[in-house]
A and B are shown apart, each in its own frame.
Chain A
Amino acid sequence: MSILVYTESEGQKFKKAAFEVASYAKEVAAMLGTTVTAVSINGGDSSELGTYGVDKVLEIKNDKLSTFNAKAYADVIKQAAVQEGAKVVVVSSTADSKFLAPLLAVHLNAGYASNVVGLPESTSPFKVKRTAFTNKAFNITEISTDVKVIGLSNNAFGLKENSGSAVSEAFEPSLSNDDFGVQVTAVDKATDKVSIADAEIVVSGGRGLKGPENWGMIEELADVLGAATACSKPVSDMGWRPHSEHVGQTGKPVASNLYIAIGVSGAIQHLAGINASKVKVVINNDPEAPFFKAADYGIVGDAFEVVPKLIEKLKEFKSNNA
């Protein structure tokens, strides 16, 4: 047996999430006294995975799998898990991994725990800590099946480099027409922008910004920080910003290292969605805004004055530390 990890890539480059799940799998493997095998579908340079603790990479090169297809990808990972006799399969929390993980769990007859935030609390019985109630609580989940699927929360574990190197092996899964019932016809993706899921820093604007015409400074701040932009629910409901930027309980969850909220009051639903972020900064002119109770750092002041100054100071900081 080994620990199997699905290392996601895009445009033949591994995503950061791939290195994070590899780092995590390495430590789970150490707890269980075994090795890590990665599944790479039309992926990047396998030697990169060795740096994060992967011992063996099953490389799949197949034109049929050039665009993501949850059913087909789940089928491939299942076949790899069976070949390797894997008892634990680790996936990330990207949109694609969350799409395929439940299918994989059924194929492997495995218990599946999503949004896992740390190493197993124990391996016998197998217990993991995960977020629940949209980050308002955690629960310890016991998985009782022989094979387990773990969905690791983004940015929950971080990257851990190892001195090892990975051996590559070609893997040829058998695919059936049944796997391709869903056919992708178009992808609309801003390639020059950092997505909220991948971002280490997220800059978010709320109703306090008064209108969509004022988002220039939010985008500039995000640009300086290499951050993704996000917004509160009222802002997306009023159509100031696209839905895809809405973060909160009914929007996207955020688990960034730094979350900067500007003109966001901090409704309980918003806070729930962003609570998993490590450091939170709020800029708001209302000292009573609930966000100040949830934040690590705060500035009580007019965003239209504070944000341009912050951009200026950050630019100075970046040029001094370049």
Chain B
Amino acid sequence: MKILVCISHVPDTTSKINFTDGDTKFDTNGVQFVINPNDEFGLTRAMWFKEKQGASVDVANVGGPETEPTLRKALAIGADNAIRVNTEATDGFYVARQLAKVIQDGSYDLVIAGRESIDYNGGMVPGMISALTGANFVNTCIGLEVEGDTATVIREIDGGKETSTAKLPLIIGGQKGLVEESDLRIPNMRGIMMARKKPLTVVEPIEASQETKAVQFQKPTPKGEVTLVDPDNVGQLVTLLHNEAKVI
């Protein structure tokens, strides 16, 4: 089985979010970049398929040279090959078209991408690559098994979960639950040394139009002070929620 894990290079979850250039660009100053958490769950699940079922695992990212440390980290965790499509990841549709080309060229059986990146939260790339390549697709996936050419997939739905089966090739929009948080791997020294020698191929983007563009960023307006209620007068909270906030 040939697996591709799509990797987004995103600011660490604890990052302070600021903008520059008249609020048109994300301020990367002092920001630590990591593998998108939703992608990392998928990568870890892919490692399981590699170890237990002899799958090969490639990772791909659409981004400039600054994203290579993130791909190297994925190699250090255990991926075999990395591919970087050398262009800025600005629009989800554009990124999906680039990845669809990588998927077609590599004839992958299973593609795992995070359900969304934690920076733009577009939540469109996995679905779009399935529509572009014609492969089956399951989103918000929290369980994945493959037996021969058939996958059994558990998807999180509003208020529960749903199990389905699908033939490969299959695209997965992954998230926590594919593996547990405690299963995530920190690269060890040997992995890091080996990652330096693993192939990281840079490919040039295909021509594609950009359908959407983030033209301006805004930070939420700062909140007012919290209104504290005395723990001995809990009834006041009920009154405030009813009369002032009007939510009950």
Q: A interface vs B, CB < 8 Å?
A: 70-71, 74, 94-96, 98-103, 105-107, 110-115, 127, 129, 131-145, 151, 178, 181-190, 193-198, 200-201, 225, 233, 237, 243-244, 246, 249-251, 257-258, 268-269, 272, 275, 278-279, 281-282, 292-302, 305-306, 309-310, 313-314, 316-317, 321
Contacts and interface: CB of A to CB of B under 8 A. Distances in A.
B167 interface: yes
A42 to B, nearest CB: 17
Contacts of B155: 95, 99
Contacts of B224: 296
A243 B224 CA distance: 32
B118 A133 contact: yes
Interface residues of B, number: 83
A21 to B, nearest CB: 15
B interface majority secondary structure: mixed
Contacts of A184: 162-164
A interface majority secondary structure: mixed
B121 A134 contact: yes
A181 B211 contact: no
Given A143-B211, A269-B14, 18 more contacts: A98-B123, A102-B125, A102-B127, A105-B124, A111-B211, A127-B215, A129-B218, A133-B120, A139-B215, A140-B216, A142-B212, A178-B134, A186-B163, A197-B158, A282-B226, A294-B223, A296-B227, A313-B235
B247 interface: yes
A219 to B, nearest CB: 15
A132 B214 contact: yes
A140 B241 contact: no
Contacts of B93: 105-106, 111-112
Contact of B217 (A139, A233, A293, A309): A139
5 contacts: A71-B137, A74-B131, A102-B124, A103-B127, A310-B238
Contacts of A141: 212-215
Interface string B221-246: 00110111111001101101110010
B193 interface: no
Interface string B3-31: 00000000101100101000000000000
B38 A243 contact: no
Interface in B106-137: 118-128, 130-132, 134, 136-137
Given A140-B215, A297-B241, A299-B234, A244 B139 contact: no
Given A182-B136, A243-B176, A251-B176, A138 B126 contact: no
